[in-house]
Every structure is written in structure tokens, then in C-alpha cells.
Chains A and B, each alone.
Chain A
Amino acid sequence: MAHGPSSSFKNPVVNWLDQRLPIFTMIQKEYGVFPTPRNFNYFWNFGAIAMIMLVTMIVSGIVLAMHYTPNTNLAFNSVERIMRDVNFGWLIRYIHMNGASFFFIAVYIHIFRGLYYGSYKKPRELLWMIGVVIFLLMMATAFMGYVLPWGQMSFWGATVITNLFSALPLVGQDIVTLLWGGFSVDNPTLNRFFALHYLLPFVIAAVVFLHVAALHVTGSNNPLGVEPKGPQDTLPFHPYYTVKDSFGTVVYLAIFAAFVFYAPNFFGEPDNYIQANPMVTPPHIVPEWYFLPYYAILRSITFDISIPFTGLKLIEAKLGGVIAMFGSIAILFILPWLDTSPVRSARFRPIFKKGILAFLVAFFLLMYVGAQTADAAWHLGGLEIPLVYVGQFATLVYFGFFLSLPFVGLIEKPLPLPASIAKPVLGGGASAAGATAKPMEKA
């Protein structure tokens, strides 16, 4: 670190501070001159956008907490009071409500970018795994936050999800009672969910710090997946990417604002404007849209897993569903070791490219299936296809994508990689306008 008078800023106050705590030196090094690959496309905006959404959620959430009452008799009405009586309460709540969705949209694109361009590969395995931890923390936070308004979907969503743990053998029911603090989702549950919903975003912020710290050790990946070979391949982060990130963020926030002001309940469920009633289950329980794919995977395991011919049941359907659902996230942790190909970017991996597009289709298919009722079906002419089968097929593709990676890496013949980042940009003739594509593989 900086020893004594090594820092030299023009402003004497900044200089005085920096010699005692080199925070300005650090900012200069990590965000000023930090060498960043010159060929980022707009996919690389979404880390910064996700960070902005996290700050938006924390700020709006702290203000909401000042008006909210975590008690089963008062919670629903306190949210309605925020909407009707608190000055700008409607705006702050709609920002928080839609902010959750837009946080997830940004993070899903960010994760997909990491998948597509192989950002999880050596040396960025730990960076990737820390990211998966952030994703899990986000899911827990979002789930508990959705319970707080104490509407029908809040209550029954909480009931269904906490009941997942009852599928665990032996200790399942005790764990559920421990989560509830009673014999059903009730006041103790609401209180602890509020406490944790307030805590976890700060834990997320801390893990995001680790995520960024790890990123600044390895440096960013880029659309070509080729490491920068020297200064000709990089640009200083400021002003090039501060400007690019700012532009992307403004566009994203404009879309966000359009939803907040013109379609604030687009992502919501009408049933959540009915106060929670433990005696009446809504006819159709759906989680928030960002959980739908996992919910569909959960519901796709409708069969027990037994040892053939003995009738010995190994895993009940219910436990199997829970394992598959958690497994669908857990598999991301081992992804860096599942993928045996040394080539990062899908641009140069013909088989992987098809696989990841199939994966993307399966993901949206699961999202669709998760939103339908359990007994829904497609009618194609006279043919009836129960959506359970569609979900099972998509689940198969989801896991198949990951589990096939070791073999894809072995049989795939990657396209020739560019010698460096600067080469395809400068050496490809006059058409190399952007930092995006290598001319020979436009297809």
C-alpha cells in the first residue's frame, strides 16, 4: 500500500486524506486507470446495472421499513397506508416492487452473459461461485420480502416454499416448525422474515464487494474470451466504461421507470391485494416470475425414484422435486469443472452455442410452464399435451445442457481463435467498425 507521501493529488485535502487512508489512490487504481478489455459489448453493462438496482432496493426498502408494521394483524393495512396516505408512499413501494423484478432481469442477463462467453472458466471460477452465492442470497431475500405485505400470495407462497423442507427425511418437519416458530406460517414467521429481509441486502452488498474484489484480481473476460495480451488490448476504465455503463444504466432505468409509472402491477398478482387468510387457499398459487423456472422443475418430478423390480422407494416424488429444484442452482457451482473446453466464448464453440440456445429456450419454457396450473395442457388439433410433460422435457434439457458439457468439450472442434483482442478489431479490414464480431464468423 501507499507509504506516506506517495500520493500526489492536486487538492490538498484529498492529498491529506489519501496519505492517511489511500482511498483515492484505490479508486484511481480500480476505477480510473484500471485496464479493461477494449471490446466489451452491451452485455457487460449488466453488472453495473445490477449494482445500481441493489442500491435502489436498499434505499427504497429502508424508507418503506419506516412505515411498515411486521404483525399479521397490521402488516396488510400498513402497506395499504403506504400506498394511500404516506407522501409518495405509492412511488417508493412501486419502485421497490418493480425494482425486485428489474434486479432479477439484470442479474439473469448478467448470468447468461457469463455462461455464453465462458466467464466462469479458469481463472475466474471463484468469481463465478461468489456470484452464485449472491444469486442465492437474492432469491432468499426476494422470497422473504414477498411475504411481508401479507396478502394471499404472500401467505401461500410462504407456506408452499417453507413446506419444501418437510420433504427432508427424519428432520424435515422439525426444520419447518423451526422456520415457522409455530405450527403454521404466522406472526413469528412474519417477524423473522422481516428481520432477515432487512439484514440480507447488506450481506449481499458485502458479497458483491468480494465479487468485485475477485474480478479486479483476474480482470474482466470479454466477448472474444481471449485474455488481453498488452496495453493495445485494453482501455482505462474511466472514461471509456464509466460512460458506456452510464449510458446502459440510463436506458435500463428509463424502461424501469416506464413500468413504475405506467404498469406498476405488471409483474404482480392480483391475489396479493387480498389479505392473507390461512383458511382459504387461492385456486392457483404462483410464485413471482423470477422463481417460475425453478417452480416448474419442482413440479416436474411427479414420480418416485425406486430401485427397479424391488419396489423399494429411494426418493419420494416430493423429495425428488426439492432435490431437482435446489440442484438446478447448485449445478452452477460446479460448472467451471463440468466444462472441459479451454475455449471460453461461445462464438468459437459451434456445439456449445447450439446447446446454450437450447438451454435458454428450456429456461423460458420452464418459466411458462411454472405459471400454468398443475393440470394444464396444450391442445394441438386433437392432440392433448399435458404441460407436466413439457416441463419434464424442459427440465431434461436444463440439466442435459450442464451434464453434457464434459463431453462437448471433448468432441467439439472450436473455430480458430484470434491472436489477440486488438487483431480482429484492427486487422480485419475496413469493416471492423465495432468491437463486436470477427468478420469471418458472422453467422
Chain B
Amino acid sequence: MADTTQTAGHGPGSGSHSGGDPSRRDFIYLAAAATGVVGAAVTVWPFIDSLNPAADTLALASTDVDLAPVQVGQSITVTWRGKPVFIRHRTPEEIKSATDVNVSELRDPQKDADRAKKPEWLVVVGICTHLGCIPLGQKNSDPRGEYGGWFCPCHGSVYDTSGRIRKGPAPRNLEVPSYAFKTDTSIRIG
């Protein structure tokens, strides 16, 4: 690999100009081509960037949630940036099963304490990290998989009570959005 790169780099660079004035005309070609490339890139960029999220889309980027009515063991789903966010008021057993895990055995190793700001409240984006389906498990009657968290019906990913991937094709844990407790019973997501 290193050999080929070197040969390729040396060939044209080592002054094997065949005929003509090598210095000034070559420079003009290179400078013109370089200017053209920069110009094309500068022209194309606004068109590409116009496809990125617009200002009004970005402006809807935070959501306030009142947690007071959510009972222990209950889950709610709120919308943030057009995506569902799962908020679960975890029971002591659920917290225990989330913390009693040997982190090094996980596919995406993360401690429960790093995922929940207060252990009784778990806040995760409710989108499977595989291909974007919404996992089941928000209702007590839903299938929650063998780890008591969430189960994605699309391709069978199983998440635990900390929203960590435990089984199935998804590569990562459910994303924890940036959020802050404004008071003990209300949060702002985003």
C-alpha cells in the first residue's frame, strides 16, 4: 500500500514534463482548475445546505414536560422535534434491574447512572436505533421483551429498563436527549 502510494506520488511529481515550458503554463492550468473547483463548491453548497433543517424547524427544538401527574410504574410519550420521547417513572424493581447489570457485557456499555439524571425518571428518545421504528412497551399491556424495557416489533430489538440494547439487530442504546430538570417535577427537553 505504502509502496504504490509512493510510486504514484513520485511519477508525475518528479519533473518528468514532456516538452514545452513546464513552469508558467502549468501554473496557469493548475490555478484555473483550482479556482474553478472552489467556485463550483461555493456555488453548490447553498443548494445542498438548503435541504438541511430550516430555521423554523430548528426553532421547535425544545419541549417542556410536567412530570407531576405521572405515577410510579407509568410511562408517557411526548413529542420532541417530531419524534416520540419516552418518559418512564421507574419502579424500584426496574431501577434495581437497570443498575444490577454487568456493564461490560453490554453491546453498547453504559451505566444506568449515566443515562438517568434521577434514577426514578428515565428519559429516552423512543426510536429504535436499528432502522427508526417505535418500540412497544409504553403501556403495561405491551410486550416489553425479556428485560422489561421495550421491544421493537420491526426487527426484534430488545431494550432493558434503562433503554439499553440487549438483544436483536440494533447497534446502540436508545438515545438520551439533552434535558434538564427545571423543578423536581418538570423537565425541558432540548
Contact = CB atoms under 8 A, between A and B. Distances in A.
B75 interface: no
B109 interface: no
Given A278-B82, A281-B134, A188 B155 contact: no
B8 interface: no
A321 B131 CA distance: 11
B134 A280 contact: yes
Contact of B171 (A181, A184, A317): A317
Nearest to B83: A184
Contacts of A181: 51-54, 57
A316 interface: yes
B154 interface: yes
Nearest to B77: A279
B130 interface: yes
A179 B51 CA distance: 7
Interface stretch (A61-69, A109-117, A156-164, A258-266): A156-164
Interface in A27-49: none
B79 A160 contact: no
B84 interface: yes
A151 to B, nearest CB: 16
A442 interface: no
Given A302-B169, A374-B156, A182 B81 contact: yes
B48 interface: yes
Given A156-B133, A181-B53, A279-B134, A374 B84 contact: no
Contacts of B83: 183-184, 278
B132 interface: yes
Given A178-B51, A182-B53, A375 B81 contact: no
Contact of A184 (B48, B81, B153): B81
Interface residues of A, number: 33
B70 to A, nearest CB: 17
Interface in B45-88: 48, 51-54, 57, 77, 79, 81-84
A163 B79 CA distance: 19
A95 to B, nearest CB: 32
Interface in B159-175: 169-171
A186 B133 CA distance: 15
Contacts of A159: 131-133
B132 A182 contact: no
A313 to B, nearest CB: 10
B131 A188 contact: no
Nearest to A321: B169
B53 A177 contact: yes
Contacts of A278: 82-84
Given A279-B84, A281-B153, A160 B134 contact: no
Contacts of A349: none
A386 to B, nearest CB: 11
Interface in B121-135: 130-134
Contacts of B130: 163, 318
Interface of B: 48, 51-54, 57, 77, 79, 81-84, 130-134, 153-156, 169-171
Interface of A: 156, 159-160, 162-164, 166, 177-184, 186, 188, 192, 278-281, 283-285, 299, 302, 316-318, 321, 374-375
23 contacts: A156-B133, A160-B154, A166-B132, A177-B52, A178-B48, A178-B51, A179-B51, A180-B53, A181-B52, A181-B53, A181-B54, A182-B82, A183-B82, A188-B57, A278-B82, A279-B79, A281-B133, A283-B153, A316-B171, A317-B169, A318-B170, A374-B155, A375-B156
Closest 9 CB pairs of A and B: A183-B81, A163-B132, A184-B82, A281-B134, A281-B133, A160-B131, A159-B132, A163-B131, A374-B155
